[in-house]
Structure 1
Amino acid sequence: MEIRIDHRTCIGSGQCTLTAPAVFTQDDDGYAALVPEGVRTATPRQVTQAALSCPVQAIAVENAAPDA
């Protein structure tokens, strides 16, 4: 699964962090960042839900198997 965050679009709302805290965190400036250990263990469902929660659609997920 590939997760991309568009840092030019991210507004730092933190919805991804609230939805999947094991996968997403916020950097020192308050913008979305990935937790490397979390990315390796995350389920596609967790990541997809976090991406959908982003109010500006700054998270893209590719190669995620449905309902895993």
Structure 2
Amino acid sequence: MDLGPATDADPAIGLRAVRALRELAERLERLQVERARALGWSWQQVADALGVTRQAAHKKHGAGDREGRD
């Protein structure tokens, strides 16, 4: 399976691809957490969906949580 730049023989190209994928995943996670919280999901529900603890989800994404819901 060809993964394009992610499997390039040049580590500089491959590592840039890894960085781009990581940044994309972080933006997608942030967007979906914001969406879930806006729909009333608890931090526990968000954490369960992400496979992390409630505390970890809140620490990473809770700074801008204006609602203050659990």
TM-score (norm 1): 0.28
Higher helix share: 2
Higher strand share: 1
TM-score (norm 2): 0.27
Structure number with greater Rg is 2
| Higher relative contact order structure (alpha carbons within 8 Å, sequence separation ≥ 6) | 1
